[in-house]
Amino acid sequence: MTAAALLAVSGLTKTYHVRSGLFGRKRALAAVAGVSFVLEEGGVFGLVGESGSGKTTIAKMIMGAEQPSAGEVRLGTHRYGAKTSDAADAWRHRFLQPVLQDPYGALNPRMRVGRIIDEPLRVQRPGAGRSDYDIKVAVLLEQVGLQADFAGRLPHELSGGQRQRVAIARALALDPKLIVLDEPVSALDVSIQAQVLNLLKDLQQQRGLTYLLISHDLAVIAYMSTRIGVLYLGQFVEIGAKRAILAGPAHPYTQALMAAAAPGPAAAAAPLGEIPSPLDPPPGCPFHPRCSRAEARCTSETPILRRIAPDHFAACHFANP
């Protein structure tokens, strides 16, 4: 972890024990299997992969909503592992804030917008006067492109894009260093997605924010991120600088994601088929049952994540250095 790194994740693992059927024995499900990465201050690290790849589980462990089975999360100089004190968690909630996928479900439908936005302040910084909270809410609303009178509205009176702007304003209330963006535009109309992404970019520049961005959409990741980690069945298959990965994707899974995100005929390429169950992962390379390049070696030998270029790593037997 360098001096400028805001977030460092080391060997992060989350294993659940689930039962198959009413009388079945419990089996281990590795939702996240030893993930490591670093996010520099002011950067955007994009986690991309299909549903079930482990993206949201990683985010939950970083935010403290889930405890890791093994490994460590370091935020600044604070370390978080399987056990965390209440005081350390309170500090984490000031240091980072989330913006979630569903802007309506994330907002209390019975609370007015002003109360929603100043709630973190009332919890973490009690004692200020009502006028101080009102001033802060008005400033935050302006920063996310909403008028001050939105403070008196209820969530159901807002559009999806407006609700997500309120969620962003609430996340900014405590002046966090890091914001975790979990599918922040996937529930919005395509016409609104670009507006919200541009707002997030503007806020990053204005406030010096750092983002951890989670998405299944490689186009969103490519637009926002400085570094990218491609997840498959709970582990990285490719990770590195955005320019390196987009210019020369080395793993067949990354190539398939890029083809799916491309406009025109490339997006209509042959489907990959269903992702294997994490309860019964394939031997060898976990991607080999869906890979057109797979050979006999891939069915028995697990590839390691290795450097193929400066700041570019891939877990594929055939990725050229």
Averaged pLDDT score across all residues of the chain:
90
pLDDT the model gives residue 1: 46
Q: Give the DSSP per-residue string, 19-33.
A: ESSSSPPEEEEEEEE
Cβ neighbour number for residue 53 with a 10 Å cutoff: 26
* Cβ pair 240, 46 in contact under 8 A: no
Which run of H or of E encompasses 80?
A: strand 78-80
Rounded distance between C-alpha atoms, residue 264 and residue 248, angstroms = 20
Cβ neighbour number for residue 212 with a 10 Å cutoff: 26
- Report the pLDDT averaged over residues 103-114: 90
Out of 47-56, 126-135, 285-294, pick the least confident.
126-135
Rounded distance between C-alpha atoms, residue 305 and residue 156, angstroms = 47
271 pLDDT band, cuts 50/70/90, is low
Res 110 pLDDT > 90: yes
Res 22 pLDDT > 90: no
Rounded distance between C-alpha atoms, residue 213 and residue 228, angstroms = 9
41 pLDDT band, cuts 50/70/90, is very high
pLDDT higher at 127 or 288: 288
Rounded distance between C-alpha atoms, residue 271 and residue 279, angstroms = 23
Rounded distance between C-alpha atoms, residue 275 and residue 74, angstroms = 31
- Per the DSSP assignment, residues forming a β-bridge with 12 are 35
Res 302 pLDDT > 70: yes
**What are the pLDDT digits (tens) for 81-97?**
877 777 888 899 889 99
Q: Is the dihedral of CA 52, 78, 118, 211 positive or negative?
A: negative
Amino acid in position 194:
A
Res 69 pLDDT > 50: yes
Res 9 pLDDT > 90: yes
Res 264 pLDDT > 70: no
pLDDT the model gives residue 246: 94
Res 269 pLDDT > 70: no
* Cβ pair 224, 201 in contact under 8 A: yes
265 pLDDT band, cuts 50/70/90, is low
- Per the DSSP assignment, residues forming a β-bridge with 73 are 9, 80
Res 285 pLDDT > 60: yes
Choose among 159, 155, 167, 243: nearest CA to 199.
Answer: 167
pLDDT the model gives residue 267: 52
pLDDT the model gives residue 43: 96
12 three-class SS: strand
Return phi, psi of residue 28, to 5°: -80, 130
Domain 5-105+178-314 CATH superfamily? P-loop containing nucleotide triphosphate hydrolases (3.40.50.300)
Cβ neighbour number for residue 169 with a 10 Å cutoff: 28
pLDDT the model gives residue 124: 80
Res 75 pLDDT > 60: yes
161 three-class SS: helix
**What are the pLDDT digits (tens) for 166-203?**
999 999 999 999 999 999 999 899 889 999 999 999 99
